[in-house]
Amino acid sequence: MQYFNLHTHQFTNDAAILELVNQYPQEFDVSILNYSIGIHPLFIDEDRLESDFKILEEKTASPECLAIGECGLDKRSETAFEVQLQVLERQLLIAEKLQKPVVIHCVLAFQELVEMKNRLKITTPIVIHGFSKKEQLAKQLLNNGFYLSFGKNLLRNPELETVFVNTPNNRFFLETDMVEEGIREVYALAAKYKKITVVELQLQISENVKTVFKK
């Protein structure tokens, strides 16, 4: 592995990249080797929730499942926030039982997320994917044990450079999500911002992968 892509919806099958491909229970693709699987807050269907959880519990038991997610909280979702909280709590408890990391999607609900993690005493690593917020929130999340993953917004928003640079090297990941650019381009910019070589960045993220994903 030269590159690690924390979160992508596009499986490239590139031998140089360990891709954590996002999967949803009802659209599961058995051909994908390394994946995360979760119930996304924008796509909660209460009529099939138990069916989704049955698939989730089956697929998370596989060694090819590296993480649970993306899951989380989103106050833009049409699903009632209380239902979102219940669905996320169930997924966090599954992750804690299996000791698998969690990839989180969070919009306008970071305080509730932090509260839930601490209330449930979750010890397995939790990564906020697509982080794009200000340094104060980044520090709060880091202080509460979260990891941060940067991708699209690092490429698009130069103001995020300071937040990224000030994130400890052992607490971040990089991703592409759904952008056209590949993970190599994200690594190149991240290395430039951190003032290190791409090789040094690769070594650091490889250590982070070993710590969080045991890979």
pLDDT, one tens digit per residue, over 104-132 is 999 999 999 999 999 999 999 999 999 99
Q: Is the pTM of this model over 0.95?
A: yes
On whether the CB atoms of residues 182 and 207 are closer than 8 A, the answer is no
Q: How far apart, in whole angstroms, are the C-alpha atoms of residue 204 and residue 211?
A: 11
Question: Which amino acid is it at 172?
Answer: F
On whether the CB atoms of residues 102 and 92 are closer than 8 A, the answer is yes
Q: How far apart, in whole angstroms, are the C-alpha atoms of residue 208 and residue 171?
A: 7
**Quick one: pLDDT at residue 215?**
85
What is the mean predicted confidence (pLDDT) over 180-208?
A: 97
Residues in Cβ contact with 66 at an 8 Å cutoff, skipping those fewer than 6 apart: 20, 34, 35, 36, 100, 101, 213, 215
Three-point CA angle 126, 139, 84, nearest 5°: 45
- What tens digit of pLDDT does each residue of 80-95 get? 999 999 999 999 999 9
What is the mean predicted confidence (pLDDT) over 178-206?
A: 97
Q: Cis omega before residue 57 (within 30°)?
A: no
On whether the CB atoms of residues 124 and 103 are closer than 8 A, the answer is no
On whether the CB atoms of residues 91 and 38 are closer than 8 A, the answer is yes
For all residues of the chain together, what is the average pLDDT? 97
Annotation: CATH topology of 3-213? TIM Barrel (3.20.20)
Full 3-state SS string of 120-178: HCCCCCEEECCCCCCHHHHHHHHHCCCEEEECHHHHHCHHHHHHHHCCCHHHEEECCEC
What is the rounded radius of gyration, in angstroms, for the C-alpha atoms of the chain?
16
| Domain parsing of the chain, residue ranges | 3-213
